[in-house]
Copies of this chain bind each other. A is one copy, B any other.
Amino acid sequence: METIASPLETQKLCASWRAAGLKIGLVPTMGYLHAGHESLIVKALAESDRVVVSIFVNPTQFGPKEDLDKYPRDFQRDQSLCRSLGVSLIFAPSPDDMYPAGFATKVAVPSMAATLCGRNRPNHFDGVCLVCSKLFNVVGPRKAYFGLKDAQQYFVLARMVRDLNLDLELVPCPTVREPDGLALSSRNAYLNEAERKAATVLSRALDRAKGAALGGQRDPKALIDLIAATVAEEPLARLEYAQVVATGDLADVSADLSTIDGEILVAAALWLGQTRLIDNFLFTPPEARR
């Protein structure tokens, strides 16, 4: 396994693989890899000739008051995991490698970036679009793997890939969870013991809403209220948002769910002390399927 910091050197190596007819799978990460990332890497390994894992804590997707500096890092552990899994290349650039002096370009999907998590993280998805544009261009993957825990990220990037005619497939992968339901996230490391226990309220709230939807509840407001009521039962948790949106454009769904076309995303974010957690589920009303 190689580890390369230089975008140009990575681009040349990946181009040589493509020229040899090899299919590249890319798993973009911010490092501090957990079993969620591992599931993406395993899937990529099964579908590709070469797997590239990028490890880059991307400054442009953090707000000025967010946790860029304290974001957890353990590069050696990440390297060991990637090596043991059979990854071909870790692309691990520095911020200066990615954004050298004079950098001036923006890539964004503004209409899908201002809702859900974007309401409190106004530049986050612009940063995600920018860094993923660069990663896709450096690596030239046939497929890139994203976890659905970050569902908005996936749908924004899917829009970007389609709109910009990027010649690759985004592969959405199921959220990996702790036995008690908590979605895996590098940020779970921030939680103290009491917060860790309380954190299960998020998946529990979404599970209740999903159960209600499966049971026939078609009023999006009722699903949101159910999430809010469940989170309110946990004194340590503060709900940031719960929303029901269409996955195509992430527009809020206020109509009866049996009248809509296609899939909805039910997503929520909450705070436990200084830690922000997100989770979601996807649902397609059977009677509303196109």
Contact present for B107 and A111 (CB under 8 Å): no
Check if A248 is an interface residue, CB within 8 A of chain B.
yes
Check if A108 is an interface residue, CB within 8 A of chain B.
yes
Contact present for A106 and B105 (CB under 8 Å): no
Chain B residues near A102 (CB-CB < 8 A): 159, 248-249
Residue of chain B at shortest CB distance from A137: B165
Tell me how far the C-beta of A30 lies from the nearest C-beta in chain B, rounded to whole angstroms.
18
Copies of this chain, how many? 2
Contact present for A104 and B159 (CB under 8 Å): yes
Chain B residues near A108 (CB-CB < 8 A): 105-106
Check if A44 is an interface residue, CB within 8 A of chain B.
no
Chain B residues near A137 (CB-CB < 8 A): 164-167
Residue of chain B at shortest CB distance from A140: B167
Chain B residues near A11 (CB-CB < 8 A): 165, 167
Known contacts A165-B134, A165-B137: A105-B107 contact under CB 8 Å: yes
Chain B residues near A165 (CB-CB < 8 A): 7, 11, 134, 137-138
Lowest 9 CB-CB distances: which A-B pairs, in order? A105-B163, A137-B165, A138-B165, A104-B111, A104-B109, A134-B165, A106-B108, A105-B160, A105-B109
16 contacts between A and B (CB under 8 A): A19-B21, A102-B159, A102-B249, A104-B109, A104-B110, A104-B112, A104-B159, A104-B249, A105-B159, A105-B160, A106-B106, A106-B108, A106-B110, A134-B163, A137-B164, A137-B167
Known contacts A102-B248, A105-B160, then 18 further A-B pairs from the complex at CB < 8 Å, ordered by chain A residue: A11-B165, A11-B167, A15-B167, A103-B163, A104-B110, A104-B111, A104-B159, A104-B249, A105-B107, A105-B108, A105-B159, A105-B163, A106-B110, A107-B107, A134-B164, A137-B164, A137-B166, A140-B167
